[in-house]
A and B are shown apart, each in its own frame.
Chain A
Amino acid sequence: MNKPLLAVEQLSVSFNHRQTVVDAISFVIYPGETFALVGESGSGKSITALSVLRLLPNNARLSAGAINLNGDNLLKRSEAELCKIRGNRIGLIFQDPMSSLNPVMTIGSQIEEVIAIHFSLPKQAIKQRVLELLQQVEIPEPQQRINDYPHQLSGGQRQRVMIAIALAGKPDLLIADEPTTSLDVTIQAQILALLKTIQQQTGMALWLISHDLALVSTMADRVAVMQQGKIVETGNTADFFSNPQHPYTRKLLNALPSMDSCLAHAVEEKPLLLCVRNFSCYYPIRQGIFKRIVDYVRAVDGVSFELQQGKTLALVGESGCGKTTLGKSLLNLIPASGGQVKINGTDLSQLTGEPLRQQRAHIQIVFQDPFSSMNPRMLVGDIIAEGISALHSAISLDQRKEKVRQLLRQVDLPEDSALRYPHEFSGGQRQRICIARALAVEPKLIVCDEPTSALDVSVQAQIIQLLKTLQQEKGVSYLFITHDLAVVAEIADEVAVMYQGKIIEQGSVAQVLTRPEQAYTKKLLAAVPVLKI
């Protein structure tokens, strides 16, 4: 093989002299290749990238044998010399394009800024280069877009601008830190295709940092797996996925939800639980000094579906399609604008005040973000008991405590968790607490609003397994809102695809995932990165 572009030897990073985040790792990246660093959150993969560019936070301490870029040891370079390397020799793309772009500068001037730092060009030439870059990242009508502000662009376009900024210095190496995590599947596919095209055009090396093994298998030439600050396995993509060596790698691969599992679901008729007819939820658009309502945003627009007892309906769609609004307005957390929601024959949309409060026991919700869905100042025991004391006030304190212990056992948490605060738990454990809280009032239906998308792959698999077990034990139904089709295959009995506030396709999971009828569903399925073995 030829000479490596970047060679990192024995890199260690620790915080506050105690916590070692990156533990003596070594790897090389060759010119023109795509190298993927894979690991779960907290494994130290982003810190590794930042430490190569020496962009670590102040309380971090870096020690390394050498970080060689083209044979030039970056550790021996001063801060001023590193500034010339950042952006010029090594480009960087972050996960969230919105917070990486300055909201009060036009995208044109943000790209110009980078070009002006690294190349001394006349003004006209810089302008020309900006247009070239915008064309290169396939932004339509770059002449007009150049004067747009970040908020005027869509998420995918913003990430394209970020790529343009990273490319402005003509780098030899582009570091992409979870470049598509905050994007929808279809857009994710476009961005990945764009990165590939640019790599072929410029011949630069791409260092991809990701937690998504399926994505990595489609993109990378070589893969390294990181676990708790150490690289546990490195190899060519083909070997890596067909013959994983390390037990942790195998665990990761096994935890991946598979699209094939949908065929295993048994079809069996059960009594009807939830019946939604012509349900809609509009947000008014107000204008003028009198705040007149001029139009509505039709977040949910005439949706109808049914759900049987003990079954799971997955609601699939991209961000902004109204699936979360639908979930929340079913619980009356967002006022509905019309239609009917019947649960066990009771029409919820007719109820207000006290009767509505009593009916809330039937339908519960588990949110996406396990960090913001629990009051940080309440003990876990009180969080779980809250619903019991609100809806079943007749239950005595001792019985309530016993019930909390029982719920904690059911979600596989130690009983003494009740006397601890939410921040003492990991993301997966918190999601278990949220599930226990929802179960406490013995609901018939739980709306799961992307319960696994904030979690790591292996934890995600555990939570899905837990939800399945609970469904078998208690016969509870789930309305499972997600954008992840692989998870859908794993858990759902039926699927409804939402697009712009409407359900465009509905059916059993096997039918929708294997024989989609609508073009949009086909596009969604095609965009899902599938593990290539």
Chain B
Amino acid sequence: MIILWTDALIFILMAIIVVLAFYMRGQAHIKRPLQQIGSSRIGMVSLVVLLVFVLIGLLDSLHFKAGDEQKNEIISLLDYWATPLRERGEKTYSAPFATTLYSKEMMTLADGSRQWDYPRLVFGGRHLDDPETQRSADIVQKGLYGFMQGAGLVAFCMLLSWGMLAEQHKRFMRGSTAKAVWAAAFVLVSVSYALIHLSVYYHVLGTDKVGEDVFYQAVKSIRTGLVIGTLTTLIMLPMAIIFGILAGFFRGWVDDVIQYLYTTLNSIPGVLLIAASILMVQVYMANHEEAFTSVLVRADMRLLFLCLILGVTSWTGLCRLLRAETLKLREMEYVQAAHALGVKQGVILLRHILPNVMHIVLISVVLDFSSLVLAEAVLSYINIGVDPTTYSWGNMINGARLEMAREPIVWWSLSAAFVFMFALVLAANLFADVVQAAFDPRRSGNE
């Protein structure tokens, strides 16, 4: 078992979420908004999608040393299970479900003659004797087989939970929300099963320039996306909230100092700052080679520093918003009433100001989450993003960028990255919408 820096942070984050969940269970007045989230169809379906992403991310965060000592390779649980995908590389590009490479090559046949044709893939569709005629039927058959397996699993879970639930809880299973959740789980699990089953025999999303499976890349990128989205937010939030609220509430010299700080920080081009800090990390790692023995550890360090520096450069926007909102709130009559009641300033900040700016925090966290995932893609483009060896949607897009000009076009890397990114960001946005509506008492009243 090896714990990387980002792994540790992810598990700390999970622990915080679990503790918070337990704390919230005991609070009577939080129950109502939670029930509202629970009864929202969109909210629960997007939660299911998010949970699948998070689960994959977590599986990808359990790292250990692989098999033999010499190779000194660190892999995650996900890598272990996806060993066939990981190791069955082709020579170069191949289309999804293809049995041959994407471009013609000069091949030496068994009889010594040379031929200009599409060579067969080493792994994709190897089991077929005559791909031309057998392939479609084989794909449908294998896909259906996987789909049925997944469907069977979900149906089994459904029956099991139905049987185990006490009679009074069964109404939860009959509601339209529960049906939507089961339907979403059914589709997700069945399709994943079909994909997993197919990916043993084919490259379901094709292969990239060096012949690596794109499906594997896209799945591996989930962790990178989640880490950049959540850790950066985690770093940025405390700074933005503390500085923003203090500046707005106390005004005077506190406000001046904080404003100078963020206007100065804002006037330095973010890209330069990021480039400089990434270079610094690289130099540091080069000087301390003994501490960074494997490629994965180096890539992880770089990812962590990317999150850090993105966090440090991106808190100013939210800080400004919070400062303005606090300026408004501190003149509200309930804050004045609290002053009149002799409530201490720290308590006023925590009890009256902070909860009333949380909706802004929530909205901007979700928007930032999406834009951070996108920022990673842009930074990878100019080579100051994540390590080139790290799987990330940004790297995938960057790699596929040049192939857009190719004829016929290589579309699968880009599309795969886009679809995965789109699903994650959309689910996060929809879920945050529902959460926000539920936790805002003014809105939950009239809906």
Contact = CB atoms under 8 A, between A and B. Distances in A.
Contact of B340 (A331, A375, A376): A331
Given A373-B333, A376-B442, A378-B351, A358 B356 contact: no
A357 interface: yes
A284 to B, nearest CB: 14
Contacts of A401: none
A365 B340 contact: yes
A360 B340 contact: yes
A56 to B, nearest CB: 18
A139 B91 CA distance: 86
A194 B338 CA distance: 44
Nearest to B338: A386
Given A375-B355, A375-B356, A377-B355, A387 B334 contact: no
A372 B334 contact: yes
B51 interface: no
B244 to A, nearest CB: 18
Given A372-B334, A390-B347, A377 B341 contact: no
B333 A424 contact: no
A440 B332 CA distance: 20
A421 interface: yes
Contact of A423 (B339, B355, B441): B441
B159 interface: no
A367 B336 contact: yes
A530 interface: no
A332 B352 CA distance: 19
Contacts of A375: 334, 351-352, 355-356
A386 B441 contact: no
B28 interface: yes
Contacts of A221: none
Contacts of B341: 360, 364, 386-387, 390-391, 437, 440-441
Contact of A374 (B334, B340, B342, B445): B334
A367 B331 CA distance: 13
B288 interface: no
Residue of B29, B342, B355, B442 with most partner-chain A CB within 10 A:
B342
Interface in A325-351: 328, 331-333
A365 B332 contact: no
Nearest to A365: B340
B268 interface: no
B137 interface: no
A373 B342 CA distance: 16
A397 interface: no
Given A367-B336, A369-B333, A377-B355, A423 B342 contact: no
A328 B337 CA distance: 10
B337 A390 contact: no
Interface string A447-491: 000000000000000000000000000000000000000000000
B356 to A, nearest CB: 6
B342 A419 contact: no
A191 interface: no
B127 interface: no
A153 B308 CA distance: 52
A373 B341 CA distance: 13
Interface string A253-264: 000000000000
Contact of A386 (B28, B29, B332, B343): B343
Interface in A184-212: none
A423 B334 contact: no
A419 B347 contact: no
A424 B334 contact: no
Contacts of A422: 441
Nearest to B356: A377
Contacts of B352: 375, 378
A361 interface: yes
A374 B445 CA distance: 16
Interface in B320-360: 332-334, 336-344, 347, 351-352, 355-356
A379 interface: yes
A367 B337 CA distance: 8
A373 B337 contact: yes
Contacts of A333: 336, 339-340
A360 B356 contact: no
Contacts of A441: 341-342
A231 B376 CA distance: 63
Contacts of A421: 29, 441, 445
A376 B356 contact: yes
Interface in A380-408: 383, 386-387, 390-391
Contact of A373 (B28, B29, B334, B343): B334
Given A386-B343, A391-B342, A367 B441 contact: no
Contacts of A332: 339
Q: Which one of A333, A358, A386, A422 has the greatest number of beta carbons of chain B within 10 Å?
A: A386
Contacts of B339: 331-333
A376 B441 contact: yes
A391 B341 CA distance: 7
Contacts of B29: 379, 419, 421
Given A419-B29, A423-B441, A372 B340 contact: no
Contacts of B356: 375-377
Nearest to A392: B342
A78 B347 CA distance: 58
Q: Which among A328, A372, A375, A422 has the highest number of chain B CB atoms within 10 Å?
A: A375
A391 B343 CA distance: 8
B342 A390 contact: yes
Contacts of B343: 386-387, 390
A383 B343 CA distance: 12
Nearest to A390: B343
Interface string B3-30: 0000000000000000000000000110
Given A372-B334, A376-B441, A419-B28, A364 B351 contact: no
Nearest to B341: A387
B351 A360 contact: no
Contacts of B337: 365, 367, 373-374, 434, 437
Nearest to B334: A375
Interface in A208-244: none
Contact of B441 (A358, A360, A363, A377): A377
A434 B334 CA distance: 10
Contacts of A357: 342, 344
Interface in B233-285: none
Contacts of A386: 338, 341, 343, 351
B245 to A, nearest CB: 15
A365 B336 CA distance: 9
Contacts of B334: 372-375, 383
Contacts of B351: 375, 378, 386
A298 to B, nearest CB: 21
Contacts of A383: 334
A474 B73 CA distance: 79
Interface in B204-250: none
Interface string A157-192: 000000000000000000000000000000000000
Nearest to B355: A377
A368 B344 CA distance: 24
27 contacts: A333-B336, A360-B341, A361-B342, A363-B340, A364-B341, A365-B336, A365-B340, A369-B333, A372-B332, A372-B333, A373-B333, A377-B355, A377-B356, A377-B441, A378-B351, A378-B352, A383-B334, A386-B338, A386-B351, A387-B341, A387-B343, A391-B342, A419-B28, A421-B29, A422-B441, A434-B337, A441-B341
Given A376-B356, A379-B29, A423-B441, 7 more contacts: A364-B340, A373-B332, A373-B337, A390-B342, A390-B344, A391-B341, A421-B29
What are the 8 A-B residue pairs with the smallest beta carbon separation, nearest first?
A387-B341, A373-B333, A360-B342, A367-B333, A377-B355, A390-B343, A357-B342, A421-B441
Interface of B: 28-29, 332-334, 336-344, 347, 351-352, 355-356, 441-442, 445
